[in-house]
């Protein structure tokens, strides 16, 4: 009964066109840059009954899946193959990772791996898996992403601009990451950063570059300030091929911050004459824009709001309106104050100087100021 079950299992594997112990691991698709090389990560395994037939002299062969199938690389005679390159490691390591050099547009297509050992070990892995090589004429632009607290910040689409922008809050520690595909590690690409304004790259910015499998990555790590708002960072990748090819990608940062550079001023220069109208104005730089402007008189303790709004207009002024006025600009991230002095003076319609022994009096229609003079 046991023999019948085993025979059935092996027969079932053979009916499906595969041997139960044969397997291969390779990507479904790899992308090559014309004129450059391409790497195919690959490992394989064989059925246990053929283990003794797999030696370091075994052949590792790549076929292009056409009609009829064509040998494009044979490890036993690599110099005669239509595709030049190298298969790494040894057969007994079950390594089939391969580099093909100087890939051309005509090399696009599906490929499968074959192993040939001594004796009966001859197996085509197209029954298990194939890899598709696609060839591009020009390298793609690099990708620029923004990370905050290990989370990628979602892209915000600007209606009035073509560029994608990123939005973060002042004080956040961020990582602006540029990545590009590595087509051929024997001809490495290079990543460089630039910024507008230029000085931002010199302000406490840490740059790190590393290679991860098939990607080259460069990180800019810094703490966001108001100065980064609407700043543009550009990552440029340079590919060293027969001729140098450069591609770049730019990203504009949007930074949310509390009010900055808040200022207050009086519409009139100098003093204001009694009875005239005067406007006090407040302005501030904030993102999002200031939500509330509030005016206070700093002669009052505690401060009490006089009026809300960016402008404070006082009609028919008199000297009691003189004093310091405080404007508070506020948005969802904080507030900032600014103050301005208002000086209301009388407009004299008549003046009468009265001298009486040691005192000098001055009178007017709006107030009485007393001066003492010692003879």
pLDDT at 205 over 60: yes
pLDDT at 20: 66
Number of residues written out for the chain = 375
Exposed/middle/buried for residue 144 (C-beta within 10 Å: 0-12, 13-18, 19+): buried
Spatial CA neighbour of 182 closest among 217, 209, 206, 157 = 217
pLDDT of residue 369: 38
Distances (CA, A) of 216 to 85, 103, 142, 272: 22, 21, 10, 66
DSSP H or E segment with residue 15: helix 2-15
Q: State the burial class of residue 10 (Cβ atoms within 10 Å of its Cβ: 0-12, 13-18, 19+).
A: middle
| Mean pLDDT (whole number) for 27-54 | 93
Highest-scoring range by mean pLDDT, 139-148, 189-198, 283-292, 347-356? 283-292
Question: Is the confidence at residue 97, as pLDDT, over 90?
Answer: yes
- Of the pLDDT bands very low, low, confident and very high (cuts 50, 70, 90), residue 16 is very low
What pLDDT does 194 receive?
Answer: 95
- Counting Cα atoms < 13 Å in the Cβ hemisphere of 108 gives 9
* More confident call, 180 vs 158: 180
* 48: helix, strand or coil: helix
pLDDT at residue 244 tops 90: no
Q: What confidence category does residue 262 fall into, taking pLDDT thresholds of 50, 70 and 90?
A: very high
CA neighbours closer than 13 Å in the CB half-sphere of residue 279: 6
- Indicate whether 72 pLDDT > 90: yes
pLDDT score recorded for residue 12: 31
Asked whether the beta carbons of 307 and 301 are under 8 A apart, the reply is no
pLDDT band at 148 (very low <50, low <70, confident <90, very high): confident
Question: What three-state secondary structure class fits 93?
Answer: helix
| Tokens read off for 96 | 């089939």
Residue 111 has pLDDT above 60, yes or no: yes
């Amino acid at each position: 009964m046991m023999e019948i079950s085993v025979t059935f299992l092996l027969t079932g594997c053979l009916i499906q066109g595969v041997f139960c112990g044969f397997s291969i691991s390779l990507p479904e698709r790899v992308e090559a840059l014309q004129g450059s090389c391409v790497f195919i990560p690959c490992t394989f395994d064989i059925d246990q009954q053929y283990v003794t037939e797999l030696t370091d002299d075994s052949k590792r062969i790549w076929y292009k899946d056409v009609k009829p199938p064509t040998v494009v690389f044979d490890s036993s005679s690599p110099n005669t193959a239509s595709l030049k390159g190298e298969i790494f490691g040894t057969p007994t390591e079950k390594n089939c990772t391969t580099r093909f050099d100087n890939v051309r547009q005509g090399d696009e297509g599906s490929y499968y791996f074959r192993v040939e050992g001594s004796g009966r070990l001859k197996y085509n892995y197209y029954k298990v898996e194939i890899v598709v090589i696609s060839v591009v004429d020009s390298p793609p632009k690099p990708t620029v992403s923004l990370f905050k607290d290990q989370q990628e910040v979602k892209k915000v689409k600007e209606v009035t601009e073509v560029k994608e922008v990123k939005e973060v809050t002042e004080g956040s520690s961020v990582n602006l990451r540029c990545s590009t595909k590595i087509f051929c590690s024997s001809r490495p690409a290079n990543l460089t950063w630039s910024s507008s304004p230029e000085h931002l790259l010199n302000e406490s910015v840490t740059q790190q570059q590393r290679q991860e499998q098939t990607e080259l990555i460069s990180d800019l790590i810094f703490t966001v300030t108001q100065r980064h708002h609407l700043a543009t960072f550009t990552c440029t990748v340079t590919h060293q091929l027969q001729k140098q090819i450069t591609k770049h990608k730019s990203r504009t940062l949007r930074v949310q911050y509390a009010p900055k550079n808040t200022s207050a001023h009086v519409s009139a220069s100098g003093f204001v004459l009694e009875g005239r109208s005067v406007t006090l104005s407040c302005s501030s730089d904030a993102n999002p824009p200031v939500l509330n402007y509030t005016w206070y008189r700093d002669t009052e303790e505690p401060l009490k709001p006089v009026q809300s709004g960016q402008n404070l207009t006082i009609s028919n002024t008199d000297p009691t309106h003189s004093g310091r006025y405080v404007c508070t600009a506020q948005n969802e991230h904080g507030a900032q104050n600014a103050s301005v002095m208002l000086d209301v003076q009388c407009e004299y319609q008549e003046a009468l100087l009265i001298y009486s022994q040691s005192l000098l009096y001055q009178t007017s229609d709006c107030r009485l100021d007393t001066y003492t003079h010692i003879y």
